[in-house]
């Protein structure tokens, strides 16, 4: 029987917001625009599921039966 995964959506959204703030901080440290940092990160695609998995400390692909 498969376990149900309960998500704390507030925590996930807070962590994603912190990720965006980290991108802005890194951009300032490198002397580039935040948009340039986002564009650079976009070239190395990461799915929303991967972001959520990183926050929760799980690999979403492990949840696929």
pLDDT tens-digit readout, 6-51: 677 787 788 878 777 887 887 888 888 878 877 777 776 667 767 7
pTM of the model: 0.44
Are 34 and 21 within 8 A, CB to CB?
A: no
Q: Where do the domains of the chain lie?
A: 30-65
Q: In whole angstroms, what separates CA 51 from the centre of its chain?
A: 3
Averaged confidence pLDDT in the chain: 73
* Confidence bin at 62 (pLDDT 50/70/90): low
User: How would residue 65 be classed by pLDDT, with cut points 50, 70 and 90?
Assistant: very low
Hey, how many other C-beta atoms are within 10 angstroms of the C-beta on 24?
14
């Amino acid at each position: 029987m498969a376990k149900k995964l309960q998500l704390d959506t507030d925590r996930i959204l807070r962590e994603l917001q912190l990720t965006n703030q980290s991108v802005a901080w890194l951009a300032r440290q490198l002397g580039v625009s935040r948009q340039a940092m986002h564009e650079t990160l976009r070239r190395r695609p990461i799915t929303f599921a991967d972001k959520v998995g990183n926050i929760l400390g799980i690999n979403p692909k492990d949840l696929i039966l």
